[in-house]
Every structure is written in C-alpha cells, then in structure tokens.
Amino acid sequence: MLADSHCHLDYFEGEELEAVVSRARDAGIGRMITIGTRVGQAAQVKALAERFPEVWGTVGVHPHNAGESPMPDVTELVALADHPRIVGIGETGLDYFYDSAPREAQAESFRRHIRAAREAGLPVAIHTRQADEDTARILREERESGGEFSALLHCFSSGRALAEEVVASGGYVSFSGILTFPKSDELRAIAADLPEDRLLVETDSPYLAPVPFRGKRCEPAYVRSTAEVLARVRGVSLESITELTTRNLLRLFKKLN
C-alpha cells in the first residue's frame, strides 16, 4: 500500500476529516503521517494519530513559526515526542522565500530540532525553501559536532546539490505534487537519478494538489498521482514505486513497524 509521508490532517475537521481519511483508505493509502508545525498543536496531532489507525504524527515548529516565543528547547521537543504514535521531529528548517521568522531564529530552531531528533532516535522532517546552502551547512555542522541523525527533505523542490548531499549522508528525499507540474522538468530529472532506497512520496496536503487535481484542496488520496509520475520518470511500474517508497518509509520511520 502507498504511504503519504507528510500531510496536515489538522486542516480538515468533522465530516470532512472523516471523508478525507476514508478516501485515502479507498485509494490504497495505508499510512499517513500528519505533521506538527507548532508546539501548541502537538496535542491535536496526537489525538489525530490515536483516532485513526492509518495515521501517525510528528511534533515540531515550522520555520514560519520559529520566531514565536518561547522557542522550545531540546528537552521539551524530546518530551513531546515521547508518545507511541509520534514517529518524527519537525517539520523544521529554513524558509528564505517567505522569511516569516528572523533567519537567526529559524537556524536556532532548526538546530534544536536536529539535536532533539538525535536524542530521541527519530528522524527530522526538513522544510527548506531558497535556503539550500544554509540548510546543507547546518546539517553538516550538526553532524560533525553531535553525531549522526536521520533526516528527510520533505516536499523537495530545491537544487540537485542539496539532494545529493543529504542522500550521501544517509538522508531521504520526499516528492510532492510539485513533481507532476508541467514546469518541473528539472525536479523530475533529479527524481529519476536519486538512489531508489532514498525516495519517498507525500502530498503536503492541503497544499500542492498534483496533476490532475490542480486547483483542488489536496488530500492524502492524491499521493497516488505523484507516485505514478515518479514511476514514469524512473521507468518502473507503479507497483514497484509503491513497494520501494513504503519500504523506505518503514526504514526511516522505525516506530511505524
């Protein structure tokens, strides 16, 4: 069964939430990871993961929210992740496109999340936009100073150099509906070349609905369309992509097993 490695189910409520999860089941989506973006949202993420057997979660602070006070420290992040349905730390990282938080705050929050992920033994989900060099630098510095940790570049739309560096250090790369967009030829070329054991797919719903659902509110069921494009660019079957991306997900998010 396919898996959606990164979605935001907290954007759906009531009957709509029930319908979204039901449609994901019907589409053969066996696992969904709903992502934390604020400390205050952690309880909601945990409740969603407890409510639906197909759903797990992460806890963390999105770079857009990194300037909010108080910034959680490593101990608090590790404590928030101490739950059977929480499988990762994040999303965290750097976003220089919107610059919604000061860059210094984004960097400090990013480092704290990496250290918490290392301490908790969980992967860190990374958001990066127009910040390739600083993202790579912080990952290198944290690995050199503190040791190894598991990392995932989510909703990848950055340059080839960042993807290759993260993969070379043992990390993973997840592709969203952006992979299906008409102008994403460069992204598809990167997806075609990366090692198969480092690939994941996601929706980042409710954003970035893939072709042929552009203009609609994205949901986990649509991850199939991204997987189909990934299969096509790599010259393999959808069944093969389903198997390998799910296998990769289980290798990265060990608490899913």
What is the tally of structural domains in the chain? 1
β partners of residue 3: 31
Give me 221's structure tokens: 């069921």
pLDDT of 143 over the 90 cut: yes
CB–CB of 28/223 below 8 Å?
no
Q: If you average pLDDT over residues 144-167, what whole number do you get? A: 98
CA dist 33 and 218 (Å) reads 15
Q: What share of the chain in percent tops pLDDT 70?
A: 100
CB–CB of 79/118 below 8 Å?
no
pLDDT of 134 over the 90 cut: yes
The predicted pLDDT at position 174 comes to 98
Q: Considering only CA atoms, give the Rg of the chain.
A: 17
Q: What is the CATH number of the domain that holds 113?
A: 3.20.20.140
Tens digit of pLDDT for each residue in 193-242? 999 999 999 999 999 999 999 999 999 999 999 999 999 999 999 999 99
Single out the residue of 77, 68, 63 nearest to residue 138, CA to CA: 63
The predicted pLDDT at position 257 comes to 82
Q: If you average pLDDT over residues 150-158, what whole number do you get? A: 98
The predicted pLDDT at position 39 comes to 96
Average pLDDT score over the chain: 98
Tens digit of pLDDT for each residue in 11-41? 999 999 999 999 999 999 999 999 999 999 9
Q: If you average pLDDT over residues 113-142, what whole number do you get? A: 98
CB–CB of 87/255 below 8 Å?
yes
Counting every residue written for the chain, the total comes to 257
Q: What share of the chain in percent tops pLDDT 90?
A: 100
Single out the residue of 234, 35, 243 nearest to residue 154, CA to CA: 35
Helix%, strand%, coil% for the chain, nearest 5: 50, 15, 35
pLDDT of 83 over the 90 cut: yes
CA distances from 165 to 31, 74, 194 (A): 28, 25, 11
Give me 37's structure tokens: 């973006």
- Claim: this prediction has a pTM higher than 0.95: yes
CA distances from 50 to 61, 121, 147, 169, 211 (A): 21, 21, 32, 33, 31
H-state helical runs in 98-216: 103-120, 132-146, 160-168, 185-193
Question: What kind and span of H or E run contains 75?
Answer: helix 74-80
Sheet containing strand 124-129, strands side by side: 2-7, 29-34, 55-59, 86-95, 124-129, 151-153, 172-175, 199-201
The predicted pLDDT at position 41 comes to 96
Domain boundaries, position 53: 2-256
